[in-house]
A and B are shown apart, each in its own frame.
Chain A
Amino acid sequence: MGVLDAAAAATPSNATGPYEGIRVVSLAQSVTATVASSLLATLGARVILVEPPEGSALRRLGPFPEDVPDREKSAAFLHLARGFESVTLDLSRHGGRSLLASICRGADLVIEEEPPSDARCVRETLRAAREREDATCYSIVSLSPFGLTGPWAERPSSQLVMFALSGLMANVGEATREPLQLPDSLIDSFEGVAAFTAATGALEWQARTGEPHDVDCAAFDILASSNPHAISRFSYTGLMQKRVGNLLPQGYPWTLLPCKDGHIGVIAPDRDWDVFCLWMERPDLTQDPRFATRVARSQHIPELEAVLTEWTMRYTKEELYREGQLRHLPFGAVLTIEDSLQSVQLVERGFLRAIESGDCPPLLYAEPPFVTGENRPSLEPAPALGRDTAKLLREFAGIDTPVELTHLRQEGVL
């Protein structure tokens, strides 16, 4: 934890930025919708998270400290919900939907992810309220796996299912084994980034026209059009790429090799091959007919891999990474999450930063992934469930007596 000791822990306040004055009402419960909402907050938007009485589903998703579930300690929520305000409403009740419409009145954007035909119809409630009320012009960004229309719109889905259906998964993994997912929630998070970008488009259009513009943001559409090579290569040439594990088709070496304490990404298939051979003090390899050209190397991969591995095993991943990069080779150390907490680059740029939160000891957080001007935005710690309910109902629904609040609680609306 050397890095943590060195950094003075901060208690940040919310970001300022181009979206100062923008109010976003988010019904996010998934990683995807919460990522989209979170990025809007990093730009200065005021994000009001409307949670069901039992809390956003993200609060029940881990990881948790010591892996003990605790809805106030989900790392996913603590990371993504920073800067949000939290209000609890039961949207299955008419009273809850009506309060939601009040909170949305005068908002700029609503992010929702109801299933297309959900009986509760929050989306329809909001659209109707928007039509009814003057000066109410929020755009609605709807997130879903398959979109709001089309023959598969009602199918159940998961991150893994989306990845498989989109054609991406077929290209990942060993040729002789089952195709492989991308780890963690990377795909869900990417869809959230795409939804964020859609939201910026809707806000920009709305600012120019004064009219709301609703976005149908479907994970399937987005993933299917994010494939780096496959679609156009197939439609232009008829070729379909097979999965090839760590032997990527750009030539050899373009792979991962074991080293003394882990693995190192090795890329030197073309001009860099000579540089790599000199570094290994093996200029003979550039003359060896088996390894001299790109074509020859890709025909003698097992022999060459043995030669390279014998060399990489003498060094640590850190040594190979730094020495390779000194020679402008795009080598990458396979860092664990824990390794990367020690990254001088990430700390120096203010990306990893110690943050105080309540009575917890300070923890390193991943700050927003960009710098504007000289500044990296930061955000307040994530809210406890329903922290802002009373304040928001006073502000937006004119409910300002404890009696009214108690009544709503007894009815189960809050």
Chain B
Amino acid sequence: MSAPPTKSPATPQATLPLAGVRVLELGTAWAGPFCGRLLSDLGAEVIKIESRRRLDTRGPAAPPPGSGTYPDGLAGETPWNRAALFHERNRGKLSLALELDQPDGREVMLALARSSNIVLENFSPRVLPQMRVDWSNLSRVNPALVMISMSGFGQTGPERDYVAYGPTLEQASGLASLMGYADGPPMSSGLYFPDVISGTLAAGLAVAALRGARATGKGTYIDLGEIEAVRWMLGHLTLAAQTGSRAGTARLGNRDEWRAPQGCYPASGDDAWVVLTVETDDQWQAMTATMGLPRLAAEYPTARERRTHHDEIDRAVHDWIARRTAEAVVADLIAAGIPAGQVASVDQVVANEHLTARKAFDQHPIPGSHARTVAGGFWTFDGQRLGMRFRASDLGEHNEYVLREVLGLDDARIEALAKSGAVGRMPRELEAQ
């Protein structure tokens, strides 16, 4: 599992859902690479096609000392092969370093599309047509191809070329207007969830489309606008806004529109917090008994009353929690059947006993050092965790495999591609020196 295969890694085996499926990832930053990661976890052979001129999230070719997210703080001789974020998002993929804007690079791309099942990309809508490797070009060489594009606002419409980062989409989708403390301004999450959502959705849509392509021999082009993915999740608020409901009109902090009480309360210790949600009236009875305040249950038996008196309830809950440790409070609440937990910091998450028992994280090998914990597979199928299959690949590590074995090119042709700069293994800026 640790080393990426150098020979025929796509040997079809029935041991994973997508065994034998080949995916070309033209992914950058978040949504595209995340989609590719999930398809790799599901068993597809994912070939990441990367530019040496604009490195994805591999970091700078020559980082300033002390910068970056390298293991042990050491950038090493090839820092672009050692960046944490790149490893985490791109484990389990092969790397072909190919310049699509060169005519011979484009030829390689078209030939690869011919022998692939899925192409995924998340550039802005102008980029692929400029290089003539968009759907119209790729579907001509492979009519059964499935292609999915993820962009901020979709491939059509007056805002198709708008520049969108994760926060832009939170803002324009309506999400940011609801995000924040009740007494504060709208906020950004900093979590890039629009990209995570879109990458996950895109993976499912692409897998489903394989079935259609197999049945009809005709491929599909899927245009996914990230803003729509987020906005779809707020679809009930679209209806609420037209039918006189208050839902979706105010920032609620950590409260809930329906359930009460719900909140995040400080426990003793530095930056220690407990969250809890009371879903039912019975839970409220149990919680007030645990707190030694059955009076509150008698006074506010229903969620509607608890919402009305949420401030008062919060003060009582706050006082009950504040002098105790988060662990003790959570243990009491769980014992009483109340949904509760600590706000976990990342060191607590990677050490979590439940996640460990379920093998929810993966260990990414590092040359010359010990393996590091990275995000794992989302699911278990038939009791087997589908996670990282092999480490993230070095830049251009599979140029040879792809050109020779997948495309069947001969020595002369491969040499010519290297000579023209269409393929290579070093960042462009270092080659020039």
The judgment on whether A and B are partners is: yes
Known interface pairs A18-B208, A183-B175, A221-B360; A213-B17 also in contact (CB < 8 Å): yes
Chain A residue with the shortest CB-CB distance to B229:
A369
Q: Please, which residue of chain B has its CB at the minimum distance from the CB of A233?
A: B69
- Quick check: A194 and B378 within 8 Å, CB to CB? yes
**Which residues between 119 and 160 of chain A lie within 8 Å of chain B, taking CB atoms?**
146-147, 149-153, 155-160
B343 at the interface (CB under 8 A from A): yes
Residues in A whose Cβ lies below 8 Å from that of B357: 149-151
Given contacts A236-B372, A332-B170, 5 further A-B contacts (CB under 8 A): A178-B264, A180-B187, A225-B360, A336-B177, A372-B221
Pick from A242-250, A284-292, A393-401 the stretch touching chain B. A242-250
Interface pair B174/A344, CB less than 8 Å apart: no
- Which chain B positions have C-beta within 8 A of A9? none
Q: Once the chains are docked, how many angstroms separate the CA of A328 from the CA of B126? A: 13
Smallest CB-CB A-B distances: 7 pairs: A332-B171, A18-B212, A197-B204, A366-B235, A158-B277, A63-B247, A205-B17
Given contact pairs A156-B339, A335-B174, A369-B201, A328 touches B163 in the complex (Cβ within 8 A): yes
B228 touching A213 by the CB < 8 A rule? Answer: no
Answer yes or no: B242 CB below 8 A from chain A CBs: yes
Return B276 CB to nearest CB of chain A, in Å. 7
CA distance in complex: A64, B248 (Å)? 12
Assess whether A216 is interfacial by the CB under 8 Å rule.
Answer: yes
Assess the B229–A160 pair: CB atoms within 8 A.
no
Q: Which residues of A contact B168 (CB under 8 A)?
A: 265, 267, 330-332
CB neighbors of A among B1-39 (8 A):
14, 16-19, 30, 38
Identify which of B17, B204, B349, B386 contacts A167 (C-beta below 8 A): B349
Give the distance to chain A from B10, nearest Cβ to Cβ, in Å.
Answer: 15
Distance, CA A76 to CA B243, complexed state (A): 13
What is A's interface to B at a CB cutoff of 8 Å?
A: 1, 4, 17-19, 35, 39, 43, 61-67, 74-76, 78-80, 146-147, 149-153, 155-161, 163-174, 177-186, 189-190, 193-194, 196-205, 207-209, 213-218, 220-222, 224-237, 239-241, 243-246, 248-249, 254-256, 258, 263-265, 267, 321, 325, 328-341, 344-346, 348-349, 351-352, 363-373
Q: In B204-251, which residues have CB < 8 Å from any A CB?
A: 204-205, 207-215, 220-225, 227-249, 251
A233 CA to B346 CA in the complex, in Å?
10
Q: In the complex the two chains form, is A183's CB within 8 Å of B179's CB?
A: yes
| Contacting pair B245 A214 (CB below 8 A) | no
* Complex interface: stretch among B84-92, B397-405, B409-417: B84-92
- Provide a sorted-by-A list of 14 A–B residue pairs whose CB atoms are within 8 angstroms: A76-B236, A158-B279, A190-B196, A193-B200, A216-B383, A224-B352, A228-B192, A235-B84, A240-B345, A256-B185, A335-B171, A346-B227, A351-B232, A366-B231
Q: When the two chains form their complex, are residues B232 and A369 in contact, meaning their CB atoms are under 8 A apart?
A: yes
State the CA gap A168–B30 with chains docked (Å).
16
| Those of B52-82 within 8 Å (CB) of chain A | 69-73
- Residue pair B381, A213 in contact (C-beta under 8 Å): yes
Q: Does B337 contact A (CB under 8 A)?
A: yes
Question: Whole-angstrom distance between the alpha carbons of A226 and B85 in the complex?
Answer: 12
Q: Which residue of B lies closest to A208 (CB)?
A: B14
Given A18-B209, A265-B168, A345-B153, decide whether A229 and B85 contact each other with a Cβ distance below 8 A.
yes
Let me know if B297 is at the binding interface, CB within 8 A: no
B173 at the interface (CB under 8 A from A): yes
Q: Give chain A residues whose Cβ lies under 8 Å from the Cβ of B231.
A: 340, 346, 351, 366, 369
The segment out of B95-103, B105-113, B255-263, B419-427 that lies at the interface is B255-263
Q: When the two chains form their complex, are residues A349 and B225 in contact, meaning their CB atoms are under 8 A apart?
A: yes
Query: In the bound complex, what is the Cα–Cα distance between A282 and B381 (angstroms)?
Result: 58
**Which residue of the partner chain, among B212, B230, B386, contacts A17 with CB atoms under 8 Å?**
B212
Q: Output the least CB separation between B274 and chain A (Å).
A: 8
B137 within 8 Å of A by Cβ?
Answer: no
In the bound complex, residues from chain B placing their C-beta under 8 Å from that of A346 are 227-228, 231
B189 touches A234 (CB 8 A): no
Q: Give chain B residues whose Cβ lies under 8 Å from the Cβ of A220.
A: 354-355, 360
B residues in contact with A19, CB < 8 Å:
208, 211
* A-chain residues with CB within 8 Å of residue B433 when the two chains form the complex: none
Give the distance in Å from the alpha carbon of A303 to the alpha carbon of B347 in the complex.
35
User: B42: CB under 8 A from chain A?
Assistant: yes
A39 touches B221 (CB 8 A): no
Name the one of B208, B349, B375 contacting A43, with C-beta atoms under 8 angstroms. B208
Inter-chain contacts of B156 with A (CB < 8 A): 348-349, 371
> How distant is the Cα of A240 from the Cα of B246 in the complex, in angstroms?
38
Question: In whole angstroms, what is the CA distance A174 to B189 when docked?
Answer: 10
In Å, the complex CA distance between A233 and B188 comes to 21
Closest to A341 in B: B241
Q: Contact partner of A165 among B73, B259, B342, CB < 8 A?
A: B342
**With A180-B254, A216-B379, A373-B220 known to touch, is A75 a contact of B84 (CB < 8 Å)?**
no
Measured in the bound complex, the distance between the Cα atoms of B5 and A168 in whole Å is: 33
B256 contacts across to A, CB distance below 8 A: 160
Q: A240-B347, A334-B176 are in contact. Are A151 and B354 (CB under 8 A)?
A: yes
B245/A345 in contact, CB under 8 A: no
- Separation in Å of the A109 CB from the closest CB of chain B? 12
A166 touches B176 (CB 8 A): no
B341 at the interface (CB under 8 A from A): yes
Whether B383 pairs with A78 at a CB distance below 8 angstroms is no
Q: Does chain A have a CB within 8 A of B128?
A: no
| B266 engages A178 (CB within 8 Å) | yes
In the assembled complex, the CB of B30 is this many whole angstroms from the nearest CB of chain A, namely 7
- A265 and B188 contact, CB distance less than 8 A: yes
Contact B379–A180 (Cβ < 8 Å)? no
Q: Is the CB of A197 within 8 A of B188?
A: no
| Residues of chain A with a CB closer than 8 A to B157's CB | 344-345, 348-349
Q: How far is the CB of A269 from chain B (nearest CB, A)?
A: 11
Minimum C-beta distance from B174 to chain A (A): 5
**If A63-B236, A339-B174 touch, does A190 touch B197 (CB 8 Å cutoff)?**
yes
Given contacts A164-B273, A213-B381, contact A263 B185 (CB under 8 A): yes
Chain B contacts for A4, CB-based, 8 A: 242
A282 to B228, CA, bound (A): 36
Q: How far is the CA of A329 from the CA of B171 in the complex (A)?
A: 14
Closest residue to B88 on the A side, CB-wise?
Answer: A232
With both chains docked as a complex, state the minimum distance between the C-beta of B32 and any C-beta of chain A, in angstroms.
14
Min CB distance, B323 to chain A, in Å? 17
Determine if B258 and A160 form an interchain contact, defined as CB atoms under 8 angstroms apart.
no
Q: Which residues of A contact B301 (CB under 8 A)?
A: none
